[in-house]
Chain A
Amino acid sequence: MVTYAGEAVASPTPRRHGRPTLIFIGLVVTLLASILVSLCAGRFSVPVDRALAILWQGLLHPGATPTTIDERIVLLVRAPRVLLAAMAGAGLAVAGTGLQGVFRNPLVSPDILGISQGAAFGGALAIILGIWGLPLIGMVFLLGLAALVGVGFLSRINGRTETVTVILAGLVVGSMFTALVSLLQFIADPNSSLPAIVFWLMGSFSTATWERVLIATPGLLLGTALLWGLRFRLNLLALEETEARSLGVRTEPERWLVFLVVAVIVGSQVAVSGIIGWIGIVIPHAARLLVGHDHRTLLPAAVVLGAAFMVIIDTLARSATSAEIPLGVITALVGAPVFALLLRRYYRERKEQ
């Protein structure tokens, strides 16, 4: 019937995203270097070789009590702080990556969607009620999830979720939980629970201890591992609803699974280091620029980049001036301009389509 189907369309030459292996080596080296610098730098600076020797001894004899001042600083103060910062940065970065995929929207992140604020309210409420330990973590992540559910319901109109409504709903829910936290602080006992709440909520790693590392590790590891397991599924969840469903994806329950995982990650992070903004949106974009959009390479890149970025920011925060600069100041100074650029680019691209 048709015999002259011509091969008329020239294929474009594939644009390569650099060599992924090289990029990953570069990222890991950056992470290790930032960790080393963070262990050494600060008001009490420790030489690199001494820091490495102390670390080595600490690894060989984990039970031994550090005696000298530099051993105490490296092993009891800086090591848990660096580890916590790295894990929190990695967790926020993968959580942001997962959310952006599932929402099919590059402008969402845990703090923009109000999850962090909800989690913070959960924690503050637990402290007021005198709840500590594991139940506190449970409340943190339950209310983080509640915030996300609220945003989901508010922004879903006739089964469709628009970018603007998601961001506005996140703003509404986030502000409400922020107000509720202020209310709790207002009614809290100024001698006991108020300082506890303020201390707990401070977006900072200055309170890092090995105990806090232990509190945060299970949720952060489990959440990150689950998202890593879902890496191919995230590619599918980022498709249009009908396309994903036709390929056998049960979109609704699978989205909720990702939300649950994100709430676990963010809850664990907020429980030990308070609300830290912007990481969840800036890092996934930087990672995408480096390795592309495939979640199978994007997630690991976001983990390493998020960890390195957080460690660097935290090191700057505590060593740039004699007093400690709040983390949120630095992340916002970096994050807000990046977000503004993304917002402009997103709508320009949408107009062109």
Chain B
Amino acid sequence: MIGLNGATVRFGSRVVLETLSFSVPVGRSLAILGPNGRGKTTALCAMLGFQRLDAGSRLAPPIVGYVPQTGSSNQRLKAVDVAVMGCAARLGLFGQPGPADIDAARAALQRAGALRFADAFFDRLSGGERQLVLLARALATGSPALVLDEPGAALDLANQQRLLALLDELRRAQDKAIVFTTHDPNHALAAADDALLLMPDGPALCGPVTEVVTPPHLERLYSVPMRLVELQGMSGTPHRAVLPAFAGARAA
């Protein structure tokens, strides 16, 4: 279980979050959507306990599996040595990871589809590969909660696809409470059960993806005309996707 309860955050006189409440139980996945500067990252930091709340409280296990957009890469470590850091909370100040911890790290890398480059140096990996290793590290914490900061935001389409497929797999396993922020509604359609829309005007909208991620809501959220389309994937499976109509719509 992870979430916020009546959380308010102010930066000076600007109210970034106002009595925001939501909670994600184990087995569900929540996507937090919103335009830039509407408090996605603030909400995420508040959940993780990195952001002081002016009112309200947070709801989180002691350790949360956190996947940052880009990990620190100024230290040249092997991917497996990065993943094994997930065990740090169990090991304590003077603890050293033993064979069991390294096995756990490798299992997490396997689950994240990153075992192939377990012995490669983290700072030499591509952005997509790094994010998989960071996901493995979050899984290695063994936390029942997983929080991802704009997964795939800096990745090309192929790597976004890989990451979202993986998130969807984790969602279907139903053994974690998953929260991720994103600015792309299609990410919510691909890998979330519920969505939280941080509206620019008025209170946030929260509910199942099918009810909340709809063109009228999204148009209010981003001020961009939107259409919901049904597509057939290469294997014939139907997909739902949101299409923003930027300048191209006028040209057509």
The residues of A with any CB-CB pair to B shorter than 8 Å are: 1-9, 11-15, 101, 104, 106, 229-233, 235-236, 238-240, 242-243, 245-249, 254, 257, 288, 292-294, 296
Task: Decide if B214 is an interface residue (CB 8 Å cutoff).
Answer: no
Distance (Å) between the CB of A220 and the closest chain B CB?
A: 19
List of 8 A-B pairs having minimum Cβ-Cβ separation, nearest first: A248-B89, A246-B66, A5-B165, A11-B117, A293-B76, A2-B165, A229-B94, A293-B75
- Whether B97 pairs with A232 at a CB distance below 8 angstroms is yes
- Whether A11 pairs with B116 at a CB distance below 8 angstroms is yes
Q: Provide the residues of chain B in CB contact with A247, threshold 8 Å.
A: 63, 66, 85-86, 88-89, 137, 141
Q: Provide the residues of chain A in CB contact with B64, threshold 8 Å.
A: 246
- Whether B77 pairs with A5 at a CB distance below 8 angstroms is no
Could you list 13 further interchain pairs (A-B, Cβ under 8 angstroms) beyond the known A7-B113, A11-B129, A292-B77? Answer: A3-B235, A5-B162, A8-B158, A12-B120, A14-B78, A15-B124, A229-B94, A230-B94, A233-B88, A236-B88, A246-B64, A248-B88, A292-B76
Q: Provide the residues of chain A in CB contact with B237, threshold 8 Å.
A: 1, 3
- Whether B68 pairs with A12 at a CB distance below 8 angstroms is no
Given B77, B93, B119, which contacts A293 in the complex, CB threshold below 8 Å?
B77
Q: Mark B51-87, 1 if CB is under 8 A from A, else 0.
A: 0000000000011111010011011111001000110
Distance (Å) between the CB of B72 and the closest chain A CB?
A: 5
Bound CA span A12–B133, Å: 14
Q: What is the chain A residue whose CB lies nearest that of B84?
A: A232
- Whether B88 pairs with A245 at a CB distance below 8 angstroms is no
Bound CA span A175–B45, Å: 40
Given A6, A106, A254, which contacts B158 in the complex, CB threshold below 8 Å?
A6
Q: Mark B109-128, 1 if CB is under 8 A from A, else 0.
A: 00001001101110011101
Q: Provide the residues of chain A in CB contact with B128, threshold 8 Å.
A: 9
Distance (Å) between the CB of B5 and the closest chain A CB?
A: 20
- The size of the chain B interface, using a CB distance under 8 A, is 55
- Whether A245 pairs with B50 at a CB distance below 8 angstroms is yes
Distance (Å) between the CB of A298 and the closest chain B CB?
A: 10
Bound CA span A126–B95, Å: 38
Task: Decide if B96 is an interface residue (CB 8 Å cutoff).
Answer: yes
- Whether A248 pairs with B75 at a CB distance below 8 angstroms is no
Task: Decide if B48 is an interface residue (CB 8 Å cutoff).
Answer: yes
Task: Decide if B168 is an interface residue (CB 8 Å cutoff).
Answer: yes
Task: Decide if B190 is an interface residue (CB 8 Å cutoff).
Answer: yes
Bound CA span A5–B159, Å: 9
The B158-203 residues at the A interface (CB cut-off 8 A) are 158-159, 161-162, 164-166, 168, 190
Given B85, B113, B190, which contacts A1 in the complex, CB threshold below 8 Å?
B190
What are 30 A-B residue pairs whose CB atoms fall within 8 Å in the complex?
A2-B233, A4-B233, A4-B235, A5-B161, A6-B158, A6-B161, A8-B162, A9-B129, A9-B158, A9-B162, A11-B120, A12-B120, A12-B125, A13-B120, A14-B78, A104-B72, A230-B93, A232-B97, A235-B75, A239-B72, A240-B71, A242-B68, A246-B48, A247-B63, A247-B89, A248-B141, A292-B76, A292-B77, A293-B76, A294-B81
Distance (Å) between the CB of B242 and the closest chain A CB?
A: 15
Distance (Å) between the CB of B35 and the closest chain A CB?
A: 23
Bound CA span A235–B137, Å: 14
Task: Decide if B245 is an interface residue (CB 8 Å cutoff).
Answer: no
Q: Provide the residues of chain B in CB contact with A9, threshold 8 Å.
A: 126, 128-129, 158-159, 162
- Whether B89 pairs with A242 at a CB distance below 8 angstroms is no
Bound CA span A2–B162, Å: 9
Q: What is the chain A residue whose CB lies nearest that of B45?
A: A242
Q: Provide the residues of chain A in CB contact with B239, threshold 8 Å.
A: 1
Given B96, B120, B158, which contacts A14 in the complex, CB threshold below 8 Å?
B120
- Whether A238 pairs with B72 at a CB distance below 8 angstroms is yes
Given B66, B78, B91, B119, which contacts A243 in the complex, CB threshold below 8 Å?
B66
Task: Decide if B234 is an interface residue (CB 8 Å cutoff).
Answer: yes
Bound CA span A125–B161, Å: 66
Distance (Å) between the CB of B114 and the closest chain A CB?
A: 9
Bound CA span A15–B49, Å: 38
Q: What is the chain A residue whose CB lies nearest that of B73?
A: A353
- Whether A243 pairs with B72 at a CB distance below 8 angstroms is yes
Bound CA span A136–B208, Å: 69
Q: Provide the residues of chain A in CB contact with B78, threshold 8 Å.
A: 14, 294
Given contacts A232-B97, A235-B81, are A249 and B88 in contact (CB under 8 A)? yes
Distance (Å) between the CB of A201 and the closest chain B CB?
A: 35
Bound CA span A65–B220, Å: 92
Select the residue from A5, A104, A249 with max chain B CB neighbours within 10 A: A5
Bound CA span A120–B162, Å: 57
- Whether B168 pairs with A2 at a CB distance below 8 angstroms is yes
- Whether B94 pairs with A296 at a CB distance below 8 angstroms is no
Q: What is the chain B residue whose CB lies nearest that of A248?
A: B89
Distance (Å) between the CB of A158 and the closest chain B CB?
A: 13
Select the residue from A12, A231, A238, A245 with max chain B CB neighbours within 10 A: A12
- Whether B88 pairs with A231 at a CB distance below 8 angstroms is no
Q: What is the chain A residue whose CB lies nearest that of B141?
A: A247
Q: Provide the residues of chain A in CB contact with B235, threshold 8 Å.
A: 3-4
Bound CA span A6–B89, Å: 34
Given A2, A7, A235, A245, which contacts B190 in the complex, CB threshold below 8 Å?
A2
